[in-house]
């Protein structure tokens, strides 16, 4: 009988612990998503560097962060798109003035060492507080893994996986020196389990 009671107490404690753990997760999520006061992103530094900032999510992030008063380092492979984006930001955020700087680099073509060197040179003297590794590529249409041609496969591995590591390598030392900084890697729900059918390589490179 005593053993039975001890078992019931132990099982109840375990159950209570599980419920508390789940509740704690829910409360933390509500706090983070809705209640926590926003951070002043300028506290990290006055500049943010965003790869793939000439289109889509990266461009939208550049405008959003410029609206918070951050200066933007745009990274892309197309000089005219970089110039156009840079001009748009400067025109829209002229008072208070937001500064921009463009770094031209093809993340699929340059070697890792070249990427790191180009980024290092490009951000020299800037107080970079935030890095957003956003540039990413996918398939133009769904296909089986064995149908992905060699060039697309190489480019995807380079842009989605290698480039963020090399860009981070170039930016991180400055953050370590001033003991603050934020690095955001843009992932994808495609990498969540179960993985995205017909996008196996993309899903893997975004994990």
Ligand X SMILES: NC(=O)c1ccc[n+]([C@@H]2O[C@H](COP(=O)([O-])OP(=O)(O)OC[C@H]3O[C@@H](n4cnc5c(N)ncnc54)[C@H](OP(=O)(O)O)[C@@H]3O)[C@@H](O)[C@H]2O)c1
Residues binding ligand X (CB under 6 A): 52-58, 76-78, 81, 106-108, 134-137, 159, 186, 188, 206
Given the complex with ligand X, which of 64 and 127 has the nearer CB atom? 64
Q: Which is nearer to ligand X, 52 or 129 (CB)?
A: 52
CB of 198 to ligand X, least distance (A): 15
What is the spatial distance between Cα 97 and Cα 71, in angstroms, rounded to a whole number? Answer: 9
C-alpha distances out from residue 104 to 73, 118, 131, 141, 169, Å:
11, 8, 16, 27, 18
Q: Roughly how many angstroms between the first and final C-alpha of the chain, as a whole number?
A: 52
The catalytic residue among 44, 144, 199, 202 is 202
Our answer to whether residue 202 is catalytic in this structure is yes
**Cα 60 from chain centre:** 13
Q: Tell me whether residue 54 or residue 102 sits nearer to ligand X (CB atom).
A: 54
State the nearest-atom distance from the C-beta of 42 to ligand X, in Å.
24
Residue 31 half-sphere exposure toward CB, CA atoms < 13 A? 6
Smallest distance, ligand X to C-beta of residue 186, A: 4
- φ, ψ for residue 171, nearest 5 deg: -90, -35
CB of 204 to ligand X, least distance (A): 12
Q: Report the C-alpha gap between 94 and 32 in whole angstroms.
A: 32
Among 125, 130, 200, 207, CA closest to 168: 130
Structure-token match 């969540």, residue found? 192
* CB nearer to ligand X: pick between 42 and 201: 201
What's the closest the beta carbon of residue 169 comes to ligand X, in angstroms? 17
Residue closer to ligand X, measured from CB, 71 or 85: 85
Sign of CA dihedral 19, 25, 29, 32: positive
Is 62 exposed, middle or buried (CB count within 10 Å of its CB: 0-12, 13-18, 19+)? Answer: buried
Which residues does the annotation mark as catalytic?
202
């Amino acid at each position: 009988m005593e053993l039975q009671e001890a078992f019931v107490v132990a099982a109840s404690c375990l159950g209570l612990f599980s419920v508390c753990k789940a509740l704690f997760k829910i409360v933390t999520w509500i706090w983070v998503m809705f209640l926590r006061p926003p951070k002043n992103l300028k506290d990290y530094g006055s500049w943010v560097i965003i790869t793939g900032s000439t289109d889509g999510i990266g461009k939208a992030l550049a405008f959003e962060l410029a609206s918070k008063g951050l200066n933007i380092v745009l990274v892309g492979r197309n000089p005219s798109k970089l110039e156009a984006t840079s001009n748009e930001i400067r025109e829209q955020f002229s008072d208070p003035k937001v500064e921009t700087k463009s770094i031209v680099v093809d993340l699929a073509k340059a070697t890792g060492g070249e990427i790191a060197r180009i980024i290092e040179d490009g951000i020299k003297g800037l107080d970079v507080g935030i890095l957003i590794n956003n540039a990413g590529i996918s398939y133009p249409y769904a296909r089986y893994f064995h149908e992905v041609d060699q060039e697309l496969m190489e480019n995807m591995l380079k842009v989605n996986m290698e480039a963020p590591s090399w860009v981070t390598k170039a930016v991180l030392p400055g953050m370590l020196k001033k003991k603050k900084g934020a690095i955001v890697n843009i992932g994808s729900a495609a990498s969540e389990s179960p993985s995205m059918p017909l996008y196996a390589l993309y899903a893997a490179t975004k994990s």
